[in-house]
Chain A
Amino acid sequence: MSQLHPVALEVNGVSYTREVQSRLLLSDFLRHELGLTGTHVGCEHGVCGACTILFDGQSMRSCLIFAVQANGHSIMTVEGLASSHAGRPEEGLHPLQQAFWEAHGLQCGYCTPGILMTMIPFLEQNPDPTEDEIRHALSGNLCRCTGYQHIVDAVKLAAEKMR
């Protein structure tokens, strides 16, 4: 039962090989095996969105995927966001992160990594979203501080910066 399965995957451009139990969630794998604690876990049943990562470029809940299923796939977590933005790595922040800083888009920050990883593909697909579209796109991410207004402002600002 506790048989180990080999997993070879890429996270933020770095290749990793590990052996995991089948029941290890991808969220726990990222945090405990790789030490990438930027991916947060909230509800661990797919409701809160805190653990959202990019799985082959698409936003997904890492608490609803087993680590063993990531074998051969490419993951991006919030730690990879700044360096994924070519051209200005010296500034240290992706324009989306910068916008959250400037517009006070976080209070406690617990939900922020999940929101950032949800907004990356959203803004790629929709570079000039309306406020309604932004709120709709945020509906799968819960902010326990309920600071939604500033989050919406931050996403608007990010869209401007990224256009």
Chain B
Amino acid sequence: MKPAPFEYKAPDSIEETLTLLREYGSEAKLLAGGQSLVPAMNFRVVQPGALIDLNRVGELVYIREEESVLRIGAMTRERQLEFDPLIPKWSPLLEEAMPHVAHPQIRNRGTLGGSLANADPAAELPVIMLALEARLKVCSTSGERWVDAHNFFSGMFTTDLAPDEMLVEILLPAMQPYTGWAFMEVAPRAGDYALMGVAALVTLDENGVCRQARLVYLNGGDGPVDAKDAAAILKGQIPGDDVMESAADSGSQKEINPFGNVHASPDFQRHLARVLTRKALQEAVTRASKDHL
């Protein structure tokens, strides 16, 4: 058999899951969609003593809108995010990114919470959550706390979660008016890990001046990379070609630190980042401007 032996627990409530997590601590791994964990177990790179399977915890599956926020349960499948009508309404950036998240067979099983807790620097969803300033609800038997996306990702496959904690809910704030968005990536084949990718959000005022911007990169370091200097270059400016070029220069040359891989050198990744940033900003600005018409 491929994976090493492990104890298997399949709780059917959050409460039961948290009790098990407290009991097993770092010996256990939570099993969400398993689309990254199971390959690692098949290679025996990961050999947890126990798996706590979340697939029977129905209360972790939902997409609910409230007055000013969208709440998403951690075990919501990626495929559901791709097709739920609330996603384009609340977060067109997430809608745009979904088809890039691996293949349909993977999205049918993979979950939002699983992807975030896995914190793969090449993954799309952590980038999108950072760009959208999502807030994450984390629970343990001792209570709950909320973590901002930018404090949640703390390094290569590393998050702020303690061994006895689990990610329960993702909260997306409403997008500000006059905000344009774009997500773009380059991958060798559709659904493969991207060599480089960027999410852009641009908010304009009534005169077309950028009030706020955000550029977040995948595969640009050991986690999703928030290019704050590039955003600062855009802020207060009418985002013409020159301004976008400077932002792209800052993001791609100074703020990301790509490692390179078998398909692309770091230089090529920086080149992709520059081109993608320019294109994504143009698209985001065009969409933001449409709101004024």
Which A residues are within 8 Å of any B CB, using their own CB?
1-3, 5, 21-25, 28, 44-46, 49, 52, 55, 58-61, 63-66, 68-69, 118, 121-122, 135-137, 139-140
Contacts and interface: CB of A to CB of B under 8 A. Distances in A.
A140 B104 contact: yes
B1 A64 contact: no
Contacts of B34: 64-66
B108 A58 contact: yes
Q: Give the interface size class of chain B.
A: 20 to 34
Nearest to B5: A1
Contact of A64 (B38, B51, B79): B38
B81 to A, nearest CB: 14
B205 interface: no
A46 B53 contact: no
SS of A interface (majority): mixed
Interface in B175-202: 189-192
Interface of B: 1-8, 10, 34-35, 38-39, 41-43, 51, 53, 55, 79, 102-106, 108-109, 189-192
B1 A21 contact: yes
A52 B8 contact: no
A156 B180 CA distance: 37
Closest 4 A/B residue pairs (Cβ): A140-B103, A22-B8, A45-B39, A139-B190
B27 to A, nearest CB: 12
B109 A60 contact: yes
Which one of B6, B8, B55 has the highest number of Cβ atoms from chain A below 10 Å of its Cβ? B8
Nearest to A137: B104
Nearest to A27: B2
A44 B103 contact: no
